[in-house]
Amino acid sequence: MKFLDLFAGIGGFRLGMEAAGHECVGFCEIDKFARSSYKAIHDTEGEVEFHDITRVTDESVRGIGRVDVICGGFPCQAFSIAGKRAGFEDTRGTLFFEIARFASILRPKYLFLENVTGLLNHDNGNTFETILGALDELGYDAEWQVFNSKNFGVPQNRERVFIIGHLRGAGGRAIFPFGGVDEEVSQSERHEITTSTLTTRYPESQGAGSYVVEGRKPKKVGNTNPSGRGINGEVYHVNGLIPTLTTNKGEGPKIIQRSHGFNKGGEYEVVPTLTSNSWHENNHLKIYDLHNKRQKDMVGTLTASGHDGNTKTGTFAVDNGYQIRKLTPRECWRLQGFPDWAFDRVAEVNSNSQLYKQAGNSVTVNVIAAIAKRLGDSI
């Protein structure tokens, strides 16, 4: 089916839709840095390209031609639990109605939308009811389901709600509910979509293998901030889920892992690529209180009270063999299901800060691909 990619970002929707055999006819993205990444990944020559969706005229929309699916992860900050939850009072919240405007003109068979789960209960459910009411007035019956990326082959705890709007009288069967990637994607498809994006092999002493994430939760082991608080200082166990990626001021989440033979004998700011089997069994993080030279087991945070009477917090160093580091931009993109070839292209056109933000704003490709496959099967 032919689809239009609204609020396109870096093209996570597009990669997932194309993996399921659908064809993109155009995209809309206001952020110039995201557009640079999108166009580095995708061949957009000859396609419709819009920037500010609020400035796209109805005549321009009609000029797009036939569209079977409108895709859109409409801006979620207005509904996010972590944000102010202003909802439709926020300009970003009203952008949903731009999707409605496009749908009223193009009349696609399906609407394929994504947002944070906070949308469901924002304003005691009134916001979501407004969205459903708008879709109903347009002639679309809606179904929705919450999916967690960790169930689709990536070690990230990321819940999002997906909405499918069905144009009345256009036929097609229900898309939801369904389970994770194991139920919906063949072994060959899973290898291409999941395994190849999450595994990197090194010639020397570097583990390799697919992630197994069923039943896991993010395991926080400490915080690098002096106060012991703050999301940007949280440190997570390497052999577990990463929490939901966010823009996080252009930074990556921090992890702790044992050094590999790959960099034995040296100290590096960035250690080898994250793999699920990089943690050694029965080992624990050790920290030193530099005031007392006393060794401690890992406790709640990486900071604790000092003992010299002159400071409020102690200063600690990670024991030999362990390092704290941020996830690299490449790893954050992998956590969203993007293949390395896509990251290699965007790394040439954008800074690390932008790449972190773009990963945090993106949809998880694997989830999109699984839903897109069911869309294709419903014809």
Q: Count CA within 13 A, CB hemisphere, residue 224.
A: 15
CATH number at residue 53: 3.40.50.150
Asked whether residue 202 is assigned to any structural domain, the reply reads no
Mean pLDDT lowest among 138-152, 209-223, 270-284, 333-347: 270-284
The single-letter code of the amino acid at 21 is G
- What pLDDT, on the 0 to 100 scale, is given for residue 126? 83
Asked whether residue 131 is assigned to any structural domain, the reply reads yes
Do you know the residue count of the chain?
A: 379
Q: Would you say residue 81 has pLDDT above 50?
A: no
Higher pLDDT, 133 or 6: 6
Task: Provide the pLDDT confidence category of residue 255 given band limits of 50, 70 and 90.
Answer: low
Report the largest interatomic distance among the alpha carbons of the chain, rounded to a whole angstrom. 76
- What pLDDT, on the 0 to 100 scale, is given for residue 171? 84
- Angle, in degrees to the nearest 10, between helices 96-106 and 126-138: 10
Q: Would you say residue 50 has pLDDT above 60?
A: yes
Rounded CA-CA distance 293/319 in Å is 12
Rounded CA-CA distance 158/154 in Å is 10
- What pLDDT, on the 0 to 100 scale, is given for residue 237? 55
Asked whether residue 246 is assigned to any structural domain, the reply reads no
Mean pLDDT lowest among 141-155, 166-180, 232-246, 319-333: 232-246
SS3 content of the chain, % helix, strand, coil (to 5): 35, 20, 45
Rounded CA-CA distance 376/291 in Å is 63
Task: Name the average pLDDT for the chain.
Answer: 73
For the question of residue 332 being annotated catalytic, the response is: no
- What pLDDT, on the 0 to 100 scale, is given for residue 130? 86
Q: Would you say residue 36 has pLDDT above 80?
A: yes
Task: Provide the pLDDT confidence category of residue 228 given band limits of 50, 70 and 90.
Answer: low
Asked whether residue 322 is assigned to any structural domain, the reply reads no
Asked whether residue 329 is assigned to any structural domain, the reply reads no
Do residues 290 and 223 make contact, with C-beta atoms less than 8 angstroms apart? no
Q: Would you say residue 223 has pLDDT above 90?
A: no
Per the structure block, which two tokens stand in for 266?
């040296």
- What are the backbone angles phi and psi of residue 85, rounded to the nearest 5°? 55, 50
Segments forming the whole domain that contains residue 74? 2-193+334-377
For residue 241, the cross-strand partners are: 218
Average pLDDT, stretch 3-9? 98
Per the structure block, which two tokens stand in for 273?
């690529």
Rounded CA-CA distance 156/147 in Å is 12
Asked whether residue 37 is assigned to any structural domain, the reply reads yes
The single-letter code of the amino acid at 83 is G
- What pLDDT, on the 0 to 100 scale, is given for residue 203? 29
- Give the residue among 19, 20, 3, 1 at the shortest CA–CA distance from 338: 19
C-alpha distances (whole Å) from 350 to each of 338, 341, 353, 354 are 16, 15, 8, 6
Using a 10 angstrom Cβ sphere, with 0-12 exposed, 13-18 middle and 19 or more buried, the burial of residue 314 is: buried
Q: Would you say residue 340 has pLDDT above 90?
A: yes
Q: Would you say residue 74 has pLDDT above 60?
A: yes
- Contacts for 115 with CB less than 8 Å, ≥ 6 apart: 73, 74, 76, 79, 160, 161, 163
Mean pLDDT lowest among 8-17, 109-118, 322-331: 322-331
Rounded CA-CA distance 92/228 in Å is 33
- Give the residue among 376, 365, 377, 374 at the shortest CA–CA distance from 16: 365
Q: Count CA within 13 A, CB hemisphere, residue 210.
A: 16
Asked whether residue 15 is assigned to any structural domain, the reply reads yes
Give the pTM: 0.69
Rounded CA-CA distance 302/233 in Å is 10
Q: Would you say residue 262 has pLDDT above 70?
A: no
Of the residues 24, 28, 71, 76, which is catalytic? 76
Asked whether residue 232 is assigned to any structural domain, the reply reads no
- Give the residue among 344, 325, 324 at the shortest CA–CA distance from 334: 344
Mean pLDDT lowest among 86-95, 182-191, 282-291: 282-291
Per the structure block, which two tokens stand in for 198?
């999450």
Number of domains in the chain: 1
Task: Provide the pLDDT confidence category of residue 226 given band limits of 50, 70 and 90.
Answer: low
- Contacts for 249 with CB less than 8 Å, ≥ 6 apart: 232
For strands 294-297 and 286-289, give the pairing. Answer: antiparallel
Do residues 262 and 206 make contact, with C-beta atoms less than 8 angstroms apart? yes
